[in-house]
């Protein structure tokens, strides 16, 4: 039986690992050096019904990469390349599936791993990390899998075990279309909730109605132009966005959590991607949110006034 190796033990990676394990699949976590020598407890997964499931998983480290049979990448977008570079012994035949947020990494990963089958996964399940090795599955959604290079096209059969574990899972030859559909939601929810330090559901409060409408229009224009003939209508997009906000009302976006905890965000791969592809379209709200989050990130990296720098 093939082992699924999860790179990135965040909320969604842990939930996917738990779901696969519950269906009898073998799962391992590829861990960074900071985890070496630590005790690795069982993953405690809180299911949609509220029950606790203890999940056994095998801890892996870069020297084990030669035995990786299928790699699922859930690291933060800005860590993907560095994390993959650590896996120097990864077999060229091993499929690598990118599940990271945002867009803009495909060409760089292709250059780094020119021979590996490369795929992208778009997973709309809700997940929340409550503490180390304790994650909550907060909602079910669609999952899409598709190729990023020619070699990736031979791995469509992975849809079957993923569907058994996750529910609705389909193959998409144009996986970038599904990536953009998810980006269109994240490019509204993530920066707005992060800048205002609010939960997803609070976006529907009257005080945010004007900026939500302006940002929705900006994002739709950019994504619709990228989608071309496959673009959804503005009304369909607006309904989909509001449905996600309502379904995840009590959740906090990953960007809100990162900014609130003083961590780097994935803004460059979400709003940054939008701005790069605006090509003359007016996107003032997206630009303002991007600038504000970059400003806050920069301030977190600077030492406080009077603080001594480490030699």
Structure confidence at residue 300 (pLDDT):
82
Sheet holding 134-139, edge to edge: 52-55, 43-46, 134-139, 126-131
Per CATH, the number for 3-173 is 3.40.50.720
The most distant pair of C-alpha atoms in the chain lies apart, rounded to whole Å, by 58
Per-residue confidence band for 175, with pLDDT thresholds at 50, 70 and 90? very high
**Helix, strand or coil, per DSSP, at residue 89:** coil
Q: Does domain 178-301 have CATH number 1.10.1040.10?
A: yes
**pLDDT mean across residues, the chain:** 92
Closest CA to 169 of 49, 3, 23, 26: 23
Q: Is the pLDDT of residue 77 over 70?
A: yes
Report residue 6's pLDDT band, with 50, 70 and 90 as the boundaries: very high
Predicted pLDDT of residue 34: 72
Q: Over 90: is that where the pLDDT of 159 sits?
A: yes
pLDDT value at 187 more than 80: yes
Which positions are catalytic?
182
The residues, any chain, with a CB within 8 Å of residue 67's CB and separated by 6 or more, are none
Residue 84 has pLDDT above 90, yes or no: yes
Reduced to 3 states (helix: H, G, I; strand: E, B; else coil), residue 74 is: coil
CB within 8 A of 175, min separation 6: which ones? 119, 120, 122, 144, 145, 146, 147, 148
What is the pLDDT at residue 309? 40
pLDDT higher than 50, residue 166: yes
Residues 21-62 have pLDDT tens digits of: 999 999 999 987 777 766 566 889 999 999 999 988 778 889
**Token pair recorded at residue 94:** 């091993």
Q: What is the tens place of the pLDDT at every residue in 95-136? A: 999 999 999 999 999 999 999 999 999 999 988 888 888 999
Q: Do domains 3-173 and 178-301 have the same CATH topology?
A: no
Q: What is this structure's pTM?
A: 0.92
Find the range with the poorest average confidence among 133-142, 161-170, 185-194, 217-226: 133-142
For the chain, the structural domain boundaries read 3-173, 178-301
pLDDT mean over 70-88: 96
What is the predicted pLDDT for the residue at 133? 84
Residue 255: pLDDT over 90: yes
Between residues 132 and 307, the one the model is more confident about: 132
> The tokens of 101 are what?
């947020």
pLDDT surpassing 60 at residue 247: yes
């Amino acid at each position: 039986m093939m082992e699924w190796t999860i790179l990135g033990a965040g909320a969604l990676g842990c939930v996917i690992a738990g779901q696969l394990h519950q269906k009898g699949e073998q799962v391992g976590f590829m861990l960074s050096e900071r985890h070496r020598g630590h005790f690795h407890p069982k993953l405690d997964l809180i299911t949609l019904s509220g029950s606790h499931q203890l999940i056994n998983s095998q801890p892996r480290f870069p020297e084990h990469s030669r035995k990786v049979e299928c790699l699922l990448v859930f690291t933060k977008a800005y860590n993907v390349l560095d994390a993959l570079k650590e896996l120097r012994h990864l077999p060229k035949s091993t499929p690598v599936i990118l599940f990271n947020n945002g867009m803009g990494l495909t060409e760089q990963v292709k250059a780094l791993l020119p021979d590996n089958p490369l795929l992208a996964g778009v997973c709309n399940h809700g997940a929340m990390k409550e503490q180390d090795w304790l994650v909550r599955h907060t909602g079910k959604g669609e999952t899409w899998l598709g190729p990023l290079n020619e070699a990736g096209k031979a791995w469509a059969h992975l849809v079957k075990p993923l569907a058994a574990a996750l529910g609705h899972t389909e193959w998409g030859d144009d996986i970038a279309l599904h990536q953009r559909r998810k980006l269109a939601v994240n490019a509204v929810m993530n920066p707005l909730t992060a800048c205002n330090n609010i939960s997803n559901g609070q976006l529907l409060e009257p005080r945010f109605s004007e900026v939500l409408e302006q940002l929705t229009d900006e994002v739709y224009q950019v994504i619709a132009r990228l989608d071309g003939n496959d673009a959804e209508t503005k009304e369909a997009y607006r309904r989909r966005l509001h449905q996600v906000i309502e379904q995840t009302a009590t959740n906090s976006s990953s960007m809100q959590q990162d900014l609130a905890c003083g961590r780097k965000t994935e803004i460059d791969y979400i709003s940054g991607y939008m701005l790069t592809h605006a090509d003359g379209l007016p996107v003032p709200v997206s630009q303002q949110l991007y600038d504000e989050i970059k400003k806050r990130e920069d301030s977190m990296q600077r030492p406080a006034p009077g603080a001594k720098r480490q030699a």
